[in-house]
Amino acid sequence: MIKAYATFEPGGKLKPFEYDPGELNPLDVEIDVRYCGICHSDVSVIDNEWGMTQYPVVPGHEVVGTIAKVGSSVKHLQVGQTVGLGWHSGYCDECANCRAGDHNLCPDGQATIIGHHGGFADKVRAAANSVILIPKGIDLESAGPLFCGGITVFNPLVQFDVRPTDKVAVIGIGGLGHMALNFLNAWGCEVTAFTSSEHKRKEALELGAHHTLNSRDQKEIEGAAGHFDLIISTVNVKLDWNLYLNTLKAKGRLHFVGATLDPLDLSVFSLITGQRSVSGSPVGSPSTIEKMLEFASLHKIRPVIEKFNFDDINAAIERLRSGKAHYRIVLCR
């Protein structure tokens, strides 16, 4: 039996929950969970915010652990290896996206916490093609958040061939944004953080921003007109997007990784005259996750975390809900 924590109704507290995972599928592995990050998407799924939660739900999709069992057809992973598991715990491996290496765009990809039990547990199972070896040099305690939040902000750098000479801004310096500043600084870019509090402004500079702009000061934002090649938005609230659109250079891109549920209200004129783009992307493929881990290891990038014991899981969720987490929460054994 796998000992987990599950929620049984929208917004419910997590309670101990045991389930029998059955025989191990030939293409799956079983992971002994050592650490698991908590992501905003875990809370969205607990609350059934996206209308796709299947209860009881075992959240947790920023897993770091050790391979405990491998299925009979798994060739590239062995018992005892240290691995990570993120938003996806399986891909079809056959669709056009998978064949192109874009597994994170697989329409039949298995989400780790939707119709599948996740990492708030002593063990979790996943298809071997979604489980990533963690290279040496990665601090395991803080590595969990790289597997969802980290890859979400790293992936656009790979997708859009961001160059070291590019000027890149990040909106929202929280769980995702703080990792974006780390990555962009190491990538060589000129990095700007849009943030509203003096406290976060100082921290943004320490995390790798070269400049900050006050996101509540319209004049300050207007003063940055035509400046950025790329803006990555990590927030899930509605902002005056046209204000931000105008801070892009011609051919610049406003890229969304924060899942705001409000429709975008955009000036098409600003898009057309500057040939600007607006886009979004989900997490990243296994090979991009591997690239990210090597890059993070080389540049000593590690998420800033607060630690909670697995037994204090409800307090950890409350902490995340309060918006005060600094910056990401990790459950530890």
CB of 121 to Zn ion, least distance (A): 16
Count of residues interacting with Zn ion (CB under 5 A)? 8
CB of 287 to Zn ion, least distance (A): 14
Nearer to Zn ion, 179 or 245 (CB): 179
Query: What x/- string results for residues 17 through 56 when contact with Zn ion is judged by CB under 5 A?
Result: ----------------------x-x---------------
Nearer to Zn ion, 41 or 142 (CB): 41
Nearer to Zn ion, 53 or 215 (CB): 53
User: Angle CA(176)–CA(180)–CA(185) in degrees, nearest 5?
Assistant: 160
What is each CA distance from 107 to 48, 84, 93, 127, in whole angstroms? 20, 22, 11, 16
Q: Which residues contact 142 (CB under 8 A, 6 or more apart)?
A: 302, 303, 304, 305, 330
Query: What x/- string results for residues 254 through 293 when contact with Zn ion is judged by CB under 5 A?
Result: ----------------------------------------
The first and second tokens of residue 60, run together, are 């947790």
Nearer to Zn ion, 40 or 123 (CB): 40
Query: Under a CB-based contact definition with an 8 Å cutoff, are residues 35 and 65 in contact?
Result: yes
DSSP per-residue letters across 175-188:
HHHHHHHHHHHHHT
Query: What x/- string results for residues 141 through 160 when contact with Zn ion is judged by CB under 5 A?
Result: -------x------------
Given the structure tokens 């993070």, which residue do they identify? 296
- Stated as kind and residue range, the H or E segment containing 99 is helix 96-99
Nearer to Zn ion, 127 or 224 (CB): 127
CB of 266 to Zn ion, least distance (A): 26
Residues in region 63-122 near Zn ion by CB under 5 A: 91-92, 95, 98, 106
Cα 250 to Cα 268: distance, rounded to the nearest angstrom? 14
CB of 38 to Zn ion, least distance (A): 9
Chain centroid to CA 133: how far? 17
Nearer to Zn ion, 97 or 212 (CB): 97
Pairing state of beta strands 28-38 and 123-127?
A: antiparallel
| Contact footprint for Zn ion (CB under 5 A) | 39, 41, 91-92, 95, 98, 106, 148
